[in-house]
Amino acid sequence: MARQKDVTVNGLKITLQSVSPSWYYDLADRMGITGDTRKTAKYFDELICNCVIAPSAVAASGMGYFDEQDDLKTAEELVKEIESFLREEKQPRNGSKTGATQ
């Protein structure tokens, strides 16, 4: 089941959902994020469309939403929030951290 998290970015309340690590790395490779030729706008768009589930206008429009708002700052901060969320350590069902000794 996908993890979810509510965040607020520049006053905009957003609900995120996780994607698989394979999907995330495939996206980064396809968009050249790890290489010399980057497709940053497409990377942002796909990441937003696949990880944001609310508000629906952001989820459906991706970067188009921020283009209409003329809001580069919120788009950048949202992508940072998404990447941070995807890298969060997943908590095991018993509530203890992975690898912790008891």
Domain range annotation of the chain: 4-87
pLDDT digits (tens, 9 = 90+) for 10-26: 999 999 999 999 999 99
Interhelix angle 40-51/72-87, nearest 10 degrees: 60
CA separation for the pair 84, 102 (Å, rounded): 27
Better pLDDT: 101 or 9: 9
Query: Is pLDDT above 80 for 97?
Result: no
pTM listed for this prediction: 0.81
